[in-house]
Structure 1
Amino acid sequence: MSGHHDDGHTVAGWAGFAVATTGAAVTGLGICGWHPGIWVGLALMAAALLVTWVLHLVGWGKPPGPRPVDQRSMGVRDLSARHGHAGCLGCRLAGRRGVQVRAGAAAVPAPEAAGADVSS
């Protein structure tokens, strides 16, 4: 594996994969004759989406793109998930705005994510 790539390798990713694989296997059993298995398997695959999303939101996923080398271990929790990740569909679906980053500037949390009053 190249040092420039950081795809998956998170608790959220592997947990979702395990639940989805189980769902696919149960759906296969349903196709082969155990007819309730089709619906049980499809429900498990839907649950895999929810498991992955919830684990991502609590910090066991990762933001889009490569992480620094010291944060690539599966056991490292992403503490920036609380405010959301910029460009992350899962965070946007949860109502988290992410950070706004300009070229050459430090990351600044969006006012809504930081809890600031934006009513004015």
Structure 2
Amino acid sequence: MRDKIVIYQKPTCSKCRATLSLLKESGEEFESINYYETPLTIDKLRELVQKLNLPVRDLLRKDEPSAGNLGAASDDEIIKAMVENPDLIQRPIVVRGSKARLCRPPENVMELLK
């Protein structure tokens, strides 16, 4: 049995909606988590960063106004800020087992469907 797919997303995000469409078209079962309704914890966000295998700063939406204050921040400070303000998190994030992908572009989800 294959690992369950989980997508962390914001319903109003166009990339999230496109990724959800690709998941639905795949026929794979998945769980969708709106992290605005079910907030991420610091530990969960750290786990996602580890599975993404990306630097924390690559998960930060640098265009958000409140991101400007994080220029010299540590990884822990950035993670705390992202948990407190989910608009700072790049999205969507799709997880399958020990792997995760930032689905920007949405087609990145295909790497988890193989």
Normalising by structure 2, report the TM-score: 0.22
Rg (Cα) greater in structure: 1
Normalising by structure 1, report the TM-score: 0.21
Determine which structure has the larger helix proportion and give its number: 1
